[in-house]
Amino acid sequence: MGFSRAQARTVPLAADALTSAMVGIGMSFAADTEAQPNIEDTLLDASIEAMERGDLRVLSVLATWFGVHASWVNADRLIKLVGEQKSPRLRALWSALARWQGRDRRFARLIRLYRGKALDLLAVGTDFQIHRHGEDPRFEGTALRVPANVLRDRAADALTPVELAQRHRAYRWRVTMGPGYRADMWAALELDSHLSASELARRTYGSFATAWNVRRAFAMVTGRPARISPRSQTGDPTPSRPRRGRLDQFTHSSPLSGCRGGGRAATGAAKPRGAGAGRAGPREAQGSPRASASR
């Protein structure tokens, strides 16, 4: 059976677990931290809490965090996660955040996930608040209308990249390798170097081929035990086809094998040296006129 890549966990986080996960990726809340939560899972759950349950405090911290750490978010996976959501408010939020970070072209597809009229963040009073206080500059001209006095934007609400890299292992490897699946896989192997390729891919939502190669590279670099075969040194997870011998390769694929010279060379090489010495040719078998006359 082939490997099927999962995009999201099947069970969303409960309220207390979500708060701990948000603290674990660098958001400032008064709660215990979860050890090494997945960044994109936590961002999606936080946005659901903010837009579907109306928690503006979570939304304010989420927007501040995204402004600081967007460069190290796995955009490919975040786009797939948001694309699976049916809520127009959720799609409008991520479209707005992506347009705010428009200089990062990785989020271009995230902007296009919502097409329609701009939505109001508040259920009532949005027009009045915008007329009185203006619009939040981070959301101005986006798919979400947010009054300037609704969401706070404090630097203390999110850890700096340096602080988060010291705390979150996958984030640190994303800064080193780039924000992709390989960084998350390397971080997972640091925690458990005995993970199989399939389990590593499932935990990090990556592909089996990427997990196989990262696992092989991790074992080679760190020297930690990993169940890899000698063939893995070639860098190919599939067995290679056996090569033909030099003689086989010449007789089957040589351009001379179809011409007269090539055919003589191929057949003459296999014939014994004295095989035709005692056999008479056609003229000698029947006898020529001169030979019969002399007899």
Q: What is the residue-averaged pLDDT of the chain?
A: 82
pLDDT of residue 138: 97
Query: 183: burial class by Cβ within 10 Å (0-12, 13-18, 19+)?
Result: buried
pLDDT of residue 130: 96
pLDDT-flagged residues of the chain (< 70) = 1-12, 225-295
pLDDT of residue 6: 58
How far is Cα 168 from Cα 20, in angstroms, rounded to an integer?
A: 13
Query: What pTM did the predictor assign?
Result: 0.74
pLDDT of residue 250: 42
Encode pLDDT of 153-166 as tens digits.
Answer: 999 999 999 999 99
Q: What are phi and psi of 104, to 5 degrees?
A: -90, 105
How far is Cα 292 from Cα 285, in angstroms, rounded to an integer?
A: 12
pLDDT of residue 226: 57
pLDDT of residue 63: 98
pLDDT of residue 239: 43
Assess contact for 51 and 89: CB atoms under 8 A: yes
pLDDT of residue 14: 79
